[in-house]
Amino acid sequence: MSETIMHCGLVTLAGRPNVGKSTLLNRLVGQKLSITSSRAQTTRHRLLGIKTTEHAQIVYVDTPGLHTGNKGMMNRHLNRVAGASLQGVDCLVLLIAASGWKKDDEFPLQLVAKQGVPVILAINKVDELRDRLQLLPLIEQSSRKMEFAEIVPVSARTGANVDDLENAVLKYLPVQPPLYPVDQISDRGERFLAAELVREQIFRGFQQEVPYATAVSIEEFKRVKGTLHVEATIWVEREGQKPILIGKDGQRLKTVGSRARLAMQKMFATKVHLHLWVKVREGWSDSERTLRSLGYTDEV
């Protein structure tokens, strides 16, 4: 392996919330690593997805959505993590949706344009277009926004053209030895991924403010005789959010638990026992100290 020429480098996926960055990262790596949902600001951490082939190692960086509403500590944390992830990489992929440029795409555009590295535009969600011809004016309009290294229409959901995006990225990676062991697929450990799978179910299953008032920590994570035992605490901000999360007769929490457990079984390829607790930590998302204690650090 060390004697073959390898293109290796870091590639950050950037864009406004909900544009499909995490779905695309999972698709590019060929495995679920990042959590996804139809709600904005699902991703709160930087996460690496490492794709190693015979001739390349592409280290994709998933980031929180860049946004301008900077109210609250969590919003600032998200932008800080995403902004820092734009630096020190070999190439950037800016995502927009095939429905066209939105006002919220302008802030990420401005930030990627000033990094001094090649920027590839990925026009995502092309499966939602009724007519592929709609892409032509969008590509034309996009090429006037800045000098993109490439413009690649893709569907992270169906996988269409994702190979083309990978090939485009490869052109901008330096020839150098792999940055990570060839069998490593992420920088994140199993406890982190397990906590995220619980959070994913909360983002998918609840409306309004509950997902945003929620954080998850892992209390226990151990393998006993072929079964993985996981205990996790779901932190909410106010006493009143607890019954919403738990539901009548504990039904809603049960649904979260069984879906997260199935996702863990798939991810870790083992039988899983999952136990969830719901606890209140007043205003956790608006205190620097509590944010840190729940793992929301600058990380980069």
Ligand X SMILES: Nc1nc2c(ncn2[C@@H]2O[C@H](COP(=O)(O)OP(=O)(O)OP(=O)(O)O)[C@@H](O)[C@H]2O)c(=O)[nH]1
Site residues (vs ligand X, CB under 6 A) = 15, 17-23, 36-38, 40-43, 64-65, 124-125, 127-128, 155-157
* CA 267/CA 171 separation, integer angstroms: 31
Q: Give whichever of 20 and 257 is closer to ligand X, judged by the CB atom.
A: 20
* CA 102/CA 180 separation, integer angstroms: 36
The CB-of-84 to Mg ion minimum distance in angstroms stands at: 16
Q: Is 186 in the site for Mg ion (CB under 5 A)?
A: no
Beta strands in the chain (DSSP E): 7-14, 47-52, 56-62, 91-97, 119-124, 150-153, 215-224, 227-236, 271-280
The CB-of-41 to Mg ion minimum distance in angstroms stands at: 8
4 binds, among ligand X, Mg ion, none (CB under 5 to 8 A by kind): none
The pair of three-digit structure tokens given for residue 146, joined into one six-digit string: 């800045």
Q: Give whichever of 204 and 271 is closer to Mg ion, judged by the CB atom.
A: 204
Question: Is there a contact between 176 and 8 (Cβ–Cβ < 8 Å)?
Answer: yes
124 binds, among ligand X, Mg ion, none (CB under 5 to 8 A by kind): ligand X
The footprint of Mg ion on this chain (CB under 5 A) covers a number of residues equal to 4
Q: Give whichever of 76 and 254 is closer to ligand X, judged by the CB atom.
A: 76
The CB-of-5 to ligand X minimum distance in angstroms stands at: 32
125 binds, among ligand X, Mg ion, none (CB under 5 to 8 A by kind): ligand X
Kindly report the backbone phi and psi dihedral angles of residue 254, in degrees, each rounded to the nearest multiple of 5, phi listed first.
Answer: -60, -40
The CB-of-287 to Mg ion minimum distance in angstroms stands at: 24
User: What's the sign of the alpha-carbon dihedral 102, 14, 53, 30?
Assistant: negative
Considering only residues 13 through 52, tell me which ones interact with Mg ion, judged by CB under 5 A. 21-22, 42-43
Q: Give whichever of 8 and 156 is closer to ligand X, judged by the CB atom.
A: 156
207 binds, among ligand X, Mg ion, none (CB under 5 to 8 A by kind): none
Q: Which amino acid is at 136?
A: L
The CB-of-143 to ligand X minimum distance in angstroms stands at: 21
The CB-of-150 to Mg ion minimum distance in angstroms stands at: 22
Burial level of 141, CB count in 10 A (0-12/13-18/19+)?
Answer: exposed
Positions in the binding site for Mg ion (CB under 5 A): 21-22, 42-43
